[in-house]
Chains A and B, each alone.
Chain A
Amino acid sequence: MIPTSEPTARLRPGEGAIARLACLVLQPVLTRVVRRVATRHPSLFARLGPHQATDFLIDPVELPFALHLRPDPQALVFRAVPRDTAPQAGATIRGRFLLLLELIDAEQDGDAAFFSRDLEVSGDTEAVVRLRNALDDMDGSLAEEASAMFGAPGRAVLARLRRAYPDATKPQEYA
């Protein structure tokens, strides 16, 4: 369940400054990652159809910033934004960060996360469905791919991130 005590626009004391700093530090990484994904997985744009021009706000509820994605292959936008300056989004996807990451990597099922209320969507539902289907058609792990771009330090960060979420969003094991 998404904590109701963390509404999107509410900032804790000092969070604004932290968010801005984090966005600044992250931006070069995000730009590199999204360009790499676009180059290696061009077919995902076809599944997005008219929603290549939609502004998506991906909102990891426990982080001090959100992610703004506009998957236009001619003018890709993927940037971290403080919530108080986030653009008006066509569609918003909210959940804990690792859940969002695992949804992208098809380690979790989006419908199941929606049923359990761990995932919340608002705005243009068709845009969200298209993005989900486009990402789900990619082979391999985007998280692994992105972390590998930064060598051993990148992989270590990913491993540490996964260890930091021991239970809440781990994929279910099947026999």
Chain B
Amino acid sequence: MSLAELICPAGTPAALRTAVDAGADAVYCGFQDATNARNFPGLNFTPDELAEAVTYAHARGTKVLLALNTYPPAGKVDLWRHAADTGARLGVDAFIVADMGVADYIARTYPGIRLHLSVQAAASSPEAIRYYCENFGVKRVVLPRILTIPEIRQLRREIPCEIETFIFGNHGLMVEGRCSLTNYLTGQSTNMDGVCSPASDVEYVRDADGSMSSQLAGFTIDRFGVDEKAGYPTICKGRYAAPHRPEGYYAFEEPISLNLSRLLPELIEAGVHAFKIEGRQRSKSYVRGVVRAFRAAVDDIKAGREANIADLIALTEGQKQTQGAFETKKWR
């Protein structure tokens, strides 16, 4: 049965407390290193901060999920093992993992702690998901944002674990855990270093006419006119000139956010167990606004009322939103 748990982001201890107070059922977070996919400067938790956060969350009935969802380079697994040891010692409720070696270590060492399969594992077929369940005891899969609701409903019948889907935030459709675009320009890996478009390689240049260029490692990846809304400086959402589109166009994806607020009843009916809000890199203001809005919506739906969804457009990337593949695979 779907419980429609609300899984909320926290990039700092203050954001975690904000998410808990706003009604999160669980909060996910990471350490200040390459073991998680939001290894951004000044973000994330020290072990001491995580200990306090777990105490705060558990005292209010909220779970803490620790993201260890990057891939250790060959021969360098100690950082991930140590992070798992620390998380277990501090009493986290689940680990979110992508790498099979990390999953295997946790399954063998801490069999009493739940394993969730990160979206970074890009597991979307019944065969792939069952493999993780059977070999590592995975209890929940976070699905890539590429499936329609009928496909999710069918998948639910074919796998022995819970399903978690993103409902709001970054709309990244690249094959997650496999994207090497950042590595190509900066030498840093999204999947192993935990940084997509590292801030140290990003520069914004204001032109005389008020337009703004986003640059990554010296390459201009987009240019926003004076009246245009902006997006994140990621290569996948850059605008490029090509022989068939010399004026420039979004060749891969667009600066746009996922918002499934209107599809929540269908997702619950399809058997989705948990709803994930993206955005550990975002502020407390974002966390407070989005978590409150979805808390109210989920509670309304559970109570049989029509959900009154708050307008979240101001918080979306490029101030645009989509239901993406969840509504139709022809969404673009």
Q: Which residue of A lies closest to B197 (CB)?
A: A125
Known: A49-B42, A128-B199, A132-B283. 16 other contacts (CB 8 A): A4-B209, A4-B226, A109-B283, A109-B315, A111-B281, A112-B286, A112-B315, A115-B230, A116-B314, A120-B212, A122-B205, A125-B200, A125-B204, A172-B311, A174-B292, A175-B296
Segment with Cβ contacts to A, from B12-20, B59-67, B126-134, B140-148: B12-20
Q: Does A86 contact B (CB under 8 A)?
A: no
Interface residues of B in 191-245 (CB under 8 A from A): 198-200, 202-206, 209-210, 212, 224, 226-232
Q: Does B187 contact A (CB under 8 A)?
A: no
Q: Which residues does chain B contribute within 8 Å of A137, judged by CB atoms? A: 12-15
- Answer whether A125 and B199 are a contact pair too, CB < 8 Å, given A116-B314, A174-B289: yes
Which of B200, B283, B292 meets A136, CB within 8 Å?
A: B283
Q: Which residues does chain B contribute within 8 Å of A115, judged by CB atoms? A: 229-231, 255, 316-319
The residues of B with any CB-CB pair to A shorter than 8 Å are 11-15, 17, 40-43, 198-200, 202-206, 209-210, 212, 224, 226-232, 255, 281-286, 288-289, 292-293, 296, 308-312, 314-319
Min CB gap B325→A, angstroms: 23
Q: Does A130 contact B (CB under 8 A)?
A: yes
Contact with B along A58-98 (1 / 0, CB 8 A): 00000000000000000000000000000000000000000
Asked if A111 and B283 make an inter-chain contact with CB atoms under 8 angstroms apart, the answer reads: yes
Interface pairs (9), CB distance under 8 Å: A47-B12, A47-B42, A106-B284, A109-B289, A111-B283, A112-B315, A116-B319, A117-B212, A137-B12
Asked if B14 and A125 make an inter-chain contact with CB atoms under 8 angstroms apart, the answer reads: no
Q: Which residues does chain B contribute within 8 Å of A134, judged by CB atoms? A: 42
Min CB gap A117→B, angstroms: 6
Q: Which residue of A lies closest to B40 (CB)?
A: A129
Which of A1, A117, A123, A175 meets B310, CB within 8 Å?
A: A175
CA distance A113 to B311 in the complex (A): 16
CA distance A172 to B293 in the complex (A): 12
Which of B42, B206, B255 meets A129, CB within 8 Å?
A: B42
We find that the number of chain A residues with CB closer than 8 angstroms to chain B is 39
Q: Does A114 contact B (CB under 8 A)?
A: yes
Interface residues of A in 90-149 (CB under 8 A from B): 103, 106-112, 114-117, 120-126, 128-134, 136-139
CA distance A21 to B205 in the complex (A): 32
Q: Does A153 contact B (CB under 8 A)?
A: no
CA distance A138 to B285 in the complex (A): 12
CA distance A19 to B314 in the complex (A): 34
CA distance A103 to B14 in the complex (A): 15
Q: Which residues does chain A contribute within 8 Å of B311, judged by CB atoms? A: 172
Q: Does A48 contact B (CB under 8 A)?
A: yes
Q: Which residues does chain A contribute within 8 Å of B283, judged by CB atoms? A: 103, 106, 108-111, 132, 136
CA distance A131 to B14 in the complex (A): 15
CA distance A173 to B209 in the complex (A): 33
